[in-house]
Structure formats: structure tokens, C-alpha cells
């Protein structure tokens, strides 16, 4: 029998109505045997996420400030769901323990994790599945680093004889028993860890969109859905800001060759996006996706005969390393080198870094250019298509956008373009039009 792990995000479990949708999806396919719930999200634009409410309640309780109203509002969120599902479930004991630990100041990770923990109990009762506390099967070391091998061994043994289970997302525990969470969106990671442990055939990640979109819908109106994307393509897009899936969720399943399917809880008939290790499926368009970020600056270094100076690049990067600044891209010429960094990281140390570069390599000049944006054009189809870079330049020129930088990786999987912040949205629209809109006609 096939085994599927299904993870539901906060918007998919925000209310009774959403819970019922998730229940119908799970029950419609008997292979959906292991469920990873997030904490209830927002029911509407003016609503609050339960995780944020828990943080606020904990901060008040641990500081000795009035917190009862906040706690009661959290109780009401769960009570509304329980009553709406007609469950005979009482969470009073759980809330008494939570309140006691909040007053003790047990830790903000504990506070944040209770949203998933309580939702897991509700989901297990609703489905009739076994509830397994993630703190018993997902482990971190004393420094808070996830322990994949220990976790995989414990989780595999625990689930070996469990036919159907609910495991809350987002958290685990250290060896002293204290709760530790992943970063925000960490329920995606939990689902991936469980999928690896049970050797799942598929990991379904249910959210409020019908998969990955070719471009940000806040910039491009009604962008196309990506039908199939490789892990490598996803990494490139996720790093540049595409955020449907937590980027760390890729690693556990990638090692096992388990595909991830991004699906829409509100439109379960949509196929969504399939994320795979590799595929012979021809991409629909030359590019797979476009993503980008604002807020970069360029440090342009010039020195005659730079190319003949052994260790020049290492010395320059050593200066940035000394100040804890990571670089994004490093295009170079015979006598020039450009270092692209996050502007907010660099500004505090800019004069020290410039002085350090002068001491390290004695350049002819160092110039700064601020307020830049980086855009990644990603696609496995680009490798077999001539003139991709030319089409990008043509589209941007037609939109009267000046390209400040271009950098292409050796894999030919992506092309990075630098433009001014003010041209960011126009550049993405222009690239989308030339590669997607034009190819659809």
C-alpha cells in the first residue's frame, strides 16, 4: 500500500470550515496516512495567527503582566473548532499545563510550539488517528541544531507499526526535554522528516495556493502555475524569495528521492506543483520561474593587472569575512571585481570594509553603488535554448531598464540580473512577458 505524508498549513486549519476541507482531502485517499498539522492561521485579513497570540500571551505571563484575556482568546479559537467538528474533546488540562509553564517562563520556543501541539490533538481526534507528540520523536542537540540521524532512527522505529498518525509540525525537543522549534514555516520541514522516516511515496504539502507560480502574483497578474520543478530550480527560486515552501524542507526528501506535491486545500482538484529530483518532462516554457529581492549594494574594485595577482580574490573576500558579511555574487573582469552584498548588513561596516580592502590589496579605486535589486531567471529549459540571455536583455531594453549586472552559473540553470530597486517590478514583468506571455500566444 502506498504511503503519503500530508502537511496542512495554518490557513488550511484556521477554522472549522477549513478543518473539514482538510478532513475530506485526507479521507478521500486511504494512502494519506501520516498528517502534519500547523497551528491555526488567520481566518481573515484582520485576524491573528495563533502562534502570534501564543507569543504575546507568553511574554505577558512570564513578565508578570495580565495575560488571562489573551489566553482565553486562544482557548476560544480551539473551542470554536472543536464544537464546530462536534468532537467530545476537552483541552482544559492541556491549557492548565500551558498556563503554568508560561508563568514559569519556560521559554518562547515552548510557547510557539503549543499551537501545533494542540492542533495535532484536535486533528487526531477528528480523524481517529494516533497522536504522536513531535517532542518524543524529533531531536535537537544542546546548541539547538537538528539531529537528523537520531531523529530518523527514532521516528522510523516509532512509526513502523503505526498505520495512521498525526505528528504536529514545527517543533521537537533537546535531550534535556526542553522544546526547540524550527524557524517559521518549520512544519514543512517536519513533514519532510516524517516522509523520509517512513519511506513515503509522496509528500503532499497543502496550502492556500495551487502550487508554485512562475512569478510573484503581487507583481504579475495571474501568473502561470509551475507544473513540475526540480529541487535545484526550487532552491534557486526559494533563495531569491519564492516562499511557498520552507527551503530546508527539501533536504530530507531529496536524499530519498521522494517527490513533493504542493496542493491547494481550497481547490483540491488542482494538480499543483510537483517537485522532483530530476525529470525528462519538457518544461512548458523556456524558463521555470522568476524571483528576486531588493536591497543590495555593489562594491566595485579596480586594479591594473588584477588578474595576474595570485590570491587577490581571497584577500578581498577575507575582509568581508572579518566583518561577518556574506556575499551574494561576484562578477569580475580582467582588472575589475564586483562584490554584491545585502545593503543592510554592509552599511554599518562600509568604511571599515573599504579601509580593509585598501590595506589588503591596494586597489586603484573602490566605488559603491547602492539600492540595487537582484532577479533570478531560473529554468532547466534554458540550457537547451539559444539566445536566452539575449532575450532577457532585449526585454529589459524595450522596457527602458538599465542592467547593472549579469551573472550566469556554470550549470546554466539560472541567470542573475542586477537592476536598480526602482526598476525591480518592471523588470520582472518584462521578463515574464517575453518568456511566458509571448510563448503562450
Pair 293, 152 in one domain: no
Domain end marker among 176, 208, 240:
208
| pLDDT in the model for residue 255 | 83
C-alpha separations of 417 from 5, 290, 372, 379, 403 in Å:
37, 11, 10, 14, 7
Q: What is the CATH number of the domain that holds 297?
A: 3.30.2130.10
C-alpha separations of 284 from 126, 150, 223, 243 in Å:
40, 41, 13, 22
Instruction: Let me know if residue 388 belongs to a domain.
Output: yes
Cα 161 to chain center, whole Å? 32
Backbone dihedral angles phi then psi of residue 339, each to the nearest 5 degrees: -110, 120
| pLDDT in the model for residue 249 | 81
Beta partners for 206? 8, 263
Per-residue pLDDT of the chain (441 residues; tens, 9 = 90+): 799 999 999 999 999 999 999 999 999 999 999 999 999 999 998 999 999 999 999 999 999 999 999 999 999 999 999 999 999 999 999 999 999 999 999 999 999 999 999 999 999 999 999 999 999 999 999 999 999 999 999 999 999 999 999 999 999 999 999 999 998 778 899 999 999 999 999 999 999 989 989 999 999 999 999 999 998 888 888 888 777 787 778 888 988 899 999 999 999 999 999 999 888 877 788 889 999 999 999 999 999 999 888 999 999 999 999 999 999 888 888 899 999 999 999 999 999 999 999 999 999 999 999 999 999 999 887 877 778 888 888 999 999 999 988 887 666 788 999 999 999 999 999 999 999 887 765
Pair 298, 202 in one domain: no
CB of 212 within 8 A of CB of 242? yes
Instruction: Let me know if residue 89 belongs to a domain.
Output: yes
| pLDDT in the model for residue 409 | 67
CB of 68 within 8 A of CB of 43? no
* Domain boundaries, position 194: 4-208
Instruction: Let me know if residue 174 belongs to a domain.
Output: yes
Pair 175, 303 in one domain: no
Q: What is the CATH number of the domain that holds 83?
A: 3.40.1160.10
Instruction: Let me know if residue 392 belongs to a domain.
Output: yes
Pair 417, 294 in one domain: yes
| pLDDT in the model for residue 441 | 59
The model's pLDDT over 410-425, given as tens digits with 9 standing for 90+, comes to: 667 889 999 999 999 9
| pLDDT in the model for residue 200 | 96
Beta partners for 302? 336, 365
Domain end marker among 208, 237, 262:
208
Instruction: Let me know if residue 88 belongs to a domain.
Output: yes
What's the number of domains the chain is made of?
A: 2
C-alpha separations of 432 from 223, 289, 418, 436, 438 in Å:
9, 9, 16, 5, 9
Pair 59, 173 in one domain: yes
Instruction: Let me know if residue 216 belongs to a domain.
Output: no
* pTM for the predicted model, two decimal places: 0.85
- Which pairing describes strands 273-276 and 260-264: parallel, antiparallel, or unpaired? antiparallel
| pLDDT in the model for residue 206 | 96
Domain end marker among 175, 208, 241:
208
Pair 53, 161 in one domain: yes
| pLDDT in the model for residue 237 | 87
Residue listed under C-alpha cell 517527490? 259
Pair 314, 200 in one domain: no
Amino acid at each position: 500500500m502506498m504511503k503519503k505524508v500530508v502537511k496542512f498549513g495554518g490557513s488550511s486549519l484556521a477554522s472549522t470550515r477549513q478543518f473539514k476541507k482538510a478532513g475530506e482531502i485526507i479521507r478521500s485517499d486511504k494512502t494519506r496516512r501520516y498528517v502534519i498539522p500547523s497551528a491555526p492561521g488567520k481566518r481573515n485579513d484582520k485576524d491573528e495567527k495563533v502562534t502570534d497570540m501564543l507569543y504575546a500571551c507568553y511574554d505577558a505571563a512570564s513578565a508578570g503582566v495580565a495575560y488571562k484575556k489573551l489566553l482565553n482568546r486562544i482557548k476560544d479559537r480551539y473551542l470554536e473548532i472543536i464544537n464546530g467538528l462536534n468532537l467530545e474533546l476537552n483541552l482544559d488540562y492541556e491549557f492548565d499545563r500551558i498556563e503554568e509553564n508560561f508563568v514559569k517562563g519556560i521559554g518562547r520556543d515552548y510557547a510557539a510550539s503549543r499551537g501545533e501541539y494542540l492542533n495535532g490533538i484536535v486533528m487526531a481526534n477528528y480523524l481517529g488517528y494516533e497522536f504522536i507528540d513531535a517532542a518524543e520523536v524529533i531531536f535537537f542537540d544542546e546548541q539547538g541544531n537538528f539531529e537528523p540521524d537520531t531523529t530518523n532512527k527514532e521516528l522510523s522505529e516509532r512509526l513502523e507499526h503505526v498505520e495512521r498518525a498525526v505528528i504536529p509540525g514545527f517543533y521537537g525537543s533537546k535531550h534535556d526535554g526542553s522544546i526547540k522549534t524550527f524557524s517559521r514555516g518549520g512544519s514543512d520541514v517536519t513533514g519532510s522528516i516524517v516522509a523520509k522516516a517512513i519511506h513515503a511515496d509522496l509528500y503532499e504539502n497543502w496550502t492556500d495556493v495551487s502550487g508554485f507560480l512562475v512569478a510573484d502574483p503581487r507583481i504579475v497578474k495571474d501568473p502561470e502555475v509551475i507544473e513540475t520543478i526540480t529541487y535545484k530550480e526550487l532552491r534557486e527560486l526559494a533563495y531569491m524569495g519564492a516562499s511557498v515552501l520552507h527551503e530546508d524542507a527539501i533536504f530530507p526528501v531529496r536524499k530519498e528521492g521522494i517527490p513533493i506535491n504542493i496542493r491547494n486545500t481550497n481547490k483540491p482538484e488542482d494538480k499543483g506543483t510537483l517537485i522532483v529530483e530530476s525529470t525528462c518532462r519538457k518544461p512548458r516554457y523556456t524558463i521555470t520561474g522568476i524571483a528576486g529581492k531588493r536591497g543590495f549594494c555593489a562594491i566595485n574594485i579596480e586594479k591594473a593587472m588584477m588578474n595576474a595577482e595570485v590570491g587577490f580574490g581571497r584577500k578581498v573576500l577575507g575582509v568581508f569575512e572579518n566583518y561577518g558579511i556574506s556575499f551574494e555574487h561576484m562578477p569580475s573582469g580582467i582588472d575589475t571585481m564586483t562584490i554584491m552584498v545585502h545593503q543592510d548588513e554592509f552599511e554599518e561596516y562600509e568604511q571599515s570594509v573599504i579601509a580593509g580592502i585598501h590595506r589588503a590589496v591596494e586597489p586603484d579605486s573602490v566605488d559603491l553603488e547602492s539600492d540595487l535589486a537582484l532577479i533570478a531567471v531560473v529554468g532547466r529549459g534554458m540550457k537547451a535554448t539559444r539566445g536566452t540571455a539575449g532575450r532577457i536583455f532585449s526585454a529589459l531594453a524595450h522596457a527602458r531598464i538599465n542592467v547593472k549586472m549579469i551573472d550566469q552559473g556554470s550549470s546554466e540553470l539560472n541567470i542573475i540580473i542586477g537592476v536598480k530597486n526602482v526598476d525591480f517590478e518592471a523588470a520582472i514583468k518584462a521578463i515574464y512577458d517575453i518568456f511566458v506571455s509571448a510563448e503562450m500566444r
